[in-house]
């Protein structure tokens, strides 16, 4: 007999010897108890309807999950969620009426002046007025600034300057160092940092 397996071969007999004793004297007690008890009907057992052994064997074969790893993972998720909430709370609040849920106003040109029209109420307000001929008003993506062009000169073919004002049209500032030609449109970069 191989020494490596001898202990395993001897164990069944050793265990039988260790547990050897007189025959149990309580068999009749068990039978009296069971004779007085009713069996549960078969339909109440899920095992009668489902192959439970497949589930239990799969459960037993499943790898052991470390509760410590689960706790670390939960902590990591908590930190990430907290960081996301904090980052969200730090975003710049937009002034009325340009909050994300607000109805937007539509800028338009009339007679060389810039107006903002409210599509809900139908009312308009002047954004940029004056003797200059302004055109192509464009709100920045966050609605806080307004870009537009202004004609320069008096000839029929005019160069233009690009201006940026506050969202309400105040404080217009020229951003082109010198007049430019052949500009048919302007637009904001997606981050709203500059017009182009």
Omega of the bond leading into 164 within 30 degrees of 0 (cis): no
Secondary structure (DSSP) of 100-155: TTSPPPEEEEETTEEEEE-TTT--EEEEE-SSS-EEEEEE-TTSSEEEEEEE-SSS
68 binding another protein? (CB under 8 A):
no
Residue 103 CB, nearest approach to another protein (Å) = 60
Residue 78 CB, nearest approach to another protein (Å) = 28
Among the candidate windows 27-35, 67-75, 89-97, 158-166, which touches another protein by CB under 8 A? 27-35
Q: Which of residues 33-52 bind another protein (CB under 8 A)?
A: 33-35, 37-42, 45, 47-48
Q: Write the DSSP symbol of residue 134.
A: E
Cα 180 → chain centroid: 43
Residues that bind another protein (CB under 8 A): 2-8, 10-12, 14-21, 23-24, 26-27, 29-31, 33-35, 37-42, 45, 47-48, 53, 56-57, 59-64
């Amino acid at each position: 007999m191989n020494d490596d397996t001898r202990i395993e071969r001897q164990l069944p007999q050793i265990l039988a010897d260790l547990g050897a004793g007189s025959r149990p004297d309580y068999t009749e007690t068990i039978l009296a108890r069971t004779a007085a008890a009713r069996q549960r009907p078969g339909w109440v057992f899920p095992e009668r309807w489902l192959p439970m052994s497949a589930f239990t064997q799969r459960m037993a074969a499943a790898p052991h999950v470390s509760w410590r790893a689960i706790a670390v993972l939960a902590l990591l998720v908590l930190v990430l969620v907290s960081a996301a909430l904090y980052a969200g709370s730090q975003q710049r609040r937009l002034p009325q009426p340009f909050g994300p849920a607000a109805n937007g106003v539509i800028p338009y040109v009339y007679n060389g002046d810039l107006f903002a029209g409210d599509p809900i109420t139908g009312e308009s307000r002047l954004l940029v007025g004056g003797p200059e001929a302004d055109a192509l008003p464009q709100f920045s993506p966050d609605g806080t600034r307004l870009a537009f062009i202004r004609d320069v000169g008096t000839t029929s073919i005019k160069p233009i300057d690009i201006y940026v004002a506050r969202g309400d049209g105040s404080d217009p500032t020229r951003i082109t160092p010198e007049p430019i030609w052949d500009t048919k449109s302007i637009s904001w970069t997606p981050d709203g940092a500059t017009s182009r």
